[in-house]
Amino acid sequence: MVALARKTLIYEWRRFLPAMLAVGFAGLLQLLQLALVLGIFGSTSLYITGSSADVWVGYPGTQSVGSGRTIDADVESRVLMDPAVLRVEPYIWVDGDWRGPAETGGVSVFVSGIDPSPDALMFSKALPPSLRARLAEPDAVVVDRSVLNQLGVDIGQTATINGHQVRVVGISSGLRALGGVNVLCSLDTARELDEDPADIGPTYLVAKLRDPRQANAVAARLRGDTAFGPYTTWSAKDFARRSVLYWLFDTGAGAGVLFLAGIVFLVGAVITSQTLIAAVNGSVREYATLNALGVGVAALRRVVLEQAFWVGALGLLGAGLLGIVLMLLARSQDVPVVLTLPAVLVCIVLVMGLAAVSGLAAMRSLHRADPATLLR
Amino acid sequence: MQTATAAEPLRTPALLAENISKAFVSGQQRTQVLDGLSLSLDAGELTLISGPSGCGKSTLLAILSGLQKVDSGRVHALGSELGQLDMRALERFRLQHTGFVFQGFNLFPALSAFEQVELPLNHMGLSRNEARARAQSSLEEVGLAHRMRLRPSELSGGEKQRVAIARALAKKPELLFADEPTSALDAANGQMIIDILHRIARTHGTTVLCVSHDPRLVVHADRVLAMEDGRILSDWRTHAPVIDSKELPL
Ligand SMILES: Nc1ncnc2c1ncn2[C@@H]1O[C@H](COP(=O)(O)OP(=O)(O)OP(=O)(O)O)[C@@H](O)[C@H]1O
Ligand SMILES: [Mg+2]
């Protein structure tokens, strides 16, 4: 079989270049947009995804990690009674007002009080063991590298949170928060910092299971017991998703992302289809000759679609390569970008869909390839 | 019409048009292009249609080859009535039985001469080897054996038209239609093209129908039809010297 579509694409690559660029940039934009959204809004579930707990226990109706209320500390014993549970530890969330040594004014901080023991669950994936150990000292805090300027401190310096003096004993990385600044300390320190006398218990209890795959079942089983006051349970995955979705829709970012994705798709499809249509028109007499010789319209359509496919595939390849470079660059600059396999698949589907739509549009202009017009 | 039926030839004609009419309507204006035209062509002959511009030569060719429908009348090609075939069946008919050579060469810029010829064969259900063998031999037949790997941009006008002929010829069609195949070429190249067409009619028994203004071509045709205003004015056979197939260069 003579590979007409591919040979034309290679020989007349200049003609197809705008389409490939349009497809490539559309793909790149979708990819970066998704990566940014996942990175920024993913940080709202960092508390969950950065920890190794399988089940979270918190106040009923909690929409995101940052909006929890205290629960009864005795729930801990109820959770521990479940044979599937390996370990339970409290997690205290305190909203604080930071005053640093430098002139920064008040900075709103999210204080995470966590268990400083080496086998603790909270932030086990985000906090190196040496840093965690330093939290055991009274009034010790760890802050993220990316917010040092914002907080106006450096390692070893002191500041106050809610009027209590704290000391920066370490600097973490990758612990950015949305709408505030994360500060990590021990459970004891966090209790000191909490000004609200009504807060007596922990904000959350997090549990590790013997078999993480049972997270949903155990979460369901632990729910619905009201003997210890109001509380509910989520599997870590559910709670993380809940947090991210809350932020996406609460901030309107979700709608923005969809809107932009639509625009990018539309613009890409217009440019790509125009280029492909021009390419079909440029060869319309040749196509008509083939049709005169008996090559069916269906076969000619396949040629056009195949061209669209290659344009999509090559555009995708370019977008992929450039995307990797840009992602690495973003990472090195502490820009929160995250790519997951489903996100990449979504991009591939969008780009190939764009190419397919353009191919279908170009296919329509094949009706001009009427062989009778060659006889005049 | 009367005389034609009286002198019924023994073999059935390859192409038979009975009382065909065709008109084009554009806006208020109606142009009667073909007006009750009848025609019968035998296999193995090169028939030339000549006539003034706009008299309907190309339209006749389009109708006889199944590219256009008639308003009234019937066209029989190789025993099939073209008017009864739907678009798919017409495509299949053309795939099996017809070749075309147009005034423009209509070659894909990206393909080599060999690939131009091979491409339609791929769609005929031939094996890869068979398609290549046919492409090879028909390019040899038009004298382009040494030019097979070149793209259209590297070929002369005459060579391009020969590639186009090879593309039609490789299908081994019973019917070969050519519309002004020489008008974009100089005299020598035009001469060569008409020679090739003539030879194809002789050696392959192909019915070749060629439209041309060019009076120099008349001597090469077996039969010349002069058209005017949608009718055939005269129909005469030439006594062109028969080219012996042994003389042909291979
Ligand atoms: N698709 C069409 N729509 C309207 N009119 C048409 C169409 N095709 C042909 N005609 C008209 O039919 C007439 C015959 O056209 P045709 O192409 O058959 O002429 P021709 O004999 O091939 O002329 P030439 O020698 O210049 O090529 C012309 O007057 C032309 O304007
Ligand atoms: Mg004409």
pLDDT for position B9: 45
For ligand 1, say whether the CB of B33 is within 6 Å of any of its atoms: yes
Tens digits of residue pLDDT in B204-230: 999 999 999 887 788 888 999 999 988
Q: Mutation test of ligand 1: which of A368, A374, A375, A376 has the most ligand atoms closer than 8 Å to its C-beta? A: A376
Please name which of A36, A20, A18 lies closest in space to residue A323, comparing C-alpha atoms: A36
Question: Is pLDDT at A40 greater than 90 in this prediction?
Answer: no
DSSP 8-state assignment for residue A255: H
Q: Which of A116-130, A245-259, A318-332, B182-196 has the lowest mean pLDDT?
A: A245-259
pLDDT for position B2: 42
Question: Which residue of chain A has the CA closest to B64?
Answer: A372
pLDDT for position B3: 42
Question: Is pLDDT at A224 greater than 80 in this prediction?
Answer: no
Confidence at B250, pLDDT banded by 50, 70, 90: very low
Between chain A and chain B, how many beta carbons pairs sit less than 8 Å apart? 92
Q: What is the DSSP string of A160-205?
A: EETTEEEEEEEEESS---SSSEEEEEEHHHHHHH---TT--S-SEE
- The mean per-residue pLDDT over the stretch A252-270 comes to 88
Share of chain A above pLDDT 90, in %: 69
Q: Copy the structure tokens of residue B78.
A: 């190789």
To the nearest whole number, what is the mean pLDDT of chain A? 91
Atom 1 in ligand 1: which residue has the minimum CA distance? B24
Question: Is pLDDT at A115 greater than 90 in this prediction?
Answer: yes
The helix (H) or strand (E) run that includes residue B145 is none
Question: Which residue of chain B has the CA closest to A290?
Answer: B120
> How far does the centroid of ligand 1 lie from the alpha carbon of residue B54, in Å?
5
* A164-172/A140-144 β-pairing: parallel
Asked if B167 lies within 8 A of A293 by C-beta distance, the reply is yes
> How far does the centroid of ligand 1 lie from the alpha carbon of residue A40, in Å?
67
For ligand 1, say whether the CB of B54 is within 6 Å of any of its atoms: yes
> How far does the centroid of ligand 2 lie from the alpha carbon of residue B105, in Å?
15
DSSP 8-state assignment for residue B32: E
Atom 29 in ligand 1: which residue has the minimum CA distance? B54
Rounded CA separation A39/A34 (Å): 8
Tens digits of residue pLDDT in A336-362: 888 889 889 999 999 999 999 999 999
Helix count (H) and strand count (E) of chain A? 13, 9
pLDDT for position B5: 44
* A158-161/B80-81 β-pairing: unpaired
pLDDT for position A43: 81
Question: Is pLDDT at B74 greater than 60 in this prediction?
Answer: yes
Tens digits of residue pLDDT in B126-144: 999 999 999 999 999 999 9
pLDDT for position A106: 86
For ligand 1, say whether the CB of B183 is within 6 Å of any of its atoms: no
Q: Are A4 and B111 in contact (CB under 8 A)?
A: yes
Please name which of A318, A245, A258 lies closest in space to residue A34, comparing C-alpha atoms: A258
- The mean per-residue pLDDT over the stretch A12-33 comes to 93
Spell out the residues 6+ positions from residue A183 whose beta carbon is closer than 8 angstroms to its own. A96, A98, A109, A110, A111, A112, A141, A142, A143, A161, A166
* A204-209/A85-99 β-pairing: antiparallel
Sign, CA torsion A145/A148/A154/A155: negative
Q: Is B223 helix (H, G, I), strand (E, B) or coil?
A: strand
Asked if B93 lies within 8 A of A297 by C-beta distance, the reply is no
Sign, CA torsion A331/A333/A334/A337: negative
Q: Which residues of B touch A288 (CB under 8 A)?
A: 106
A12 → closest Cβ in B109, B171, B179? B109
pLDDT for position B48: 94
Confidence at B244, pLDDT banded by 50, 70, 90: very low
The helix (H) or strand (E) run that includes residue B100 is strand B98-101
Give the atom of ligand 1 at the shortest distance from the alpha carbon of B25: 4
> How far does the centroid of ligand 2 lie from the alpha carbon of residue A376, in Å?
4
- The mean per-residue pLDDT over the stretch A108-121 comes to 94
Q: Copy the structure tokens of residue B151.
A: 């793209």
For ligand 2, an ion, list residues with CB under 5 A: B 58
pLDDT for position A44: 83
A residues 244..303 contacting B (CB < 8 A): 283, 285-286, 288-297, 299
pLDDT for position B12: 79
pLDDT for position A291: 95
For ligand 1, say whether the CB of B57 is within 6 Å of any of its atoms: yes
Confidence at B41, pLDDT banded by 50, 70, 90: very high
- The mean per-residue pLDDT over the stretch B45-64 comes to 93
Q: A232: alpha, beta or left, given left = phi > 0 and alpha = psi -120 to 50?
A: beta
Asked if A294 lies within 8 A of B96 by C-beta distance, the reply is yes
Rounded CA separation B183/B192 (Å): 13
Please name which of A359, A356, A257, A348 lies closest in space to residue A26, comparing C-alpha atoms: A348
What is the CA B148 to chain-centroid distance, rounded?
23
Q: pTM for the full model? A: 0.80
pLDDT for position B239: 64
Q: Copy the structure tokens of residue A3.
A: 């590979």
pLDDT for position A376: 83
What is the CA B11 to chain-centroid distance, rounded?
21
Question: Is pLDDT at B10 greater than 60 in this prediction?
Answer: no
Distance from CA of A3 to the nearest CA of B (A): 9
To the nearest whole number, what is the mean pLDDT of chain B? 88
Question: Which residue of chain B has the CA closest to A370?
Answer: B67
Q: Is A136 on the interface with B (CB under 8 A)?
A: no
pLDDT for position B133: 96
For ligand 1, say whether the CB of B26 is within 6 Å of any of its atoms: yes
For ligand 1, say whether the CB of B63 is within 6 Å of any of its atoms: no
Q: Which ligand is nearest to the CA of B33?
A: 1
Please name which of A2, A166, A142, A75 lies closest in space to residue B108, comparing C-alpha atoms: A2
Q: Are A91 and A203 in contact (CB under 8 A)?
A: yes
DSSP 8-state assignment for residue B242: P
Which domains, ranges and CATH numbers included, belong to chain B?
14-237 (3.40.50.300)
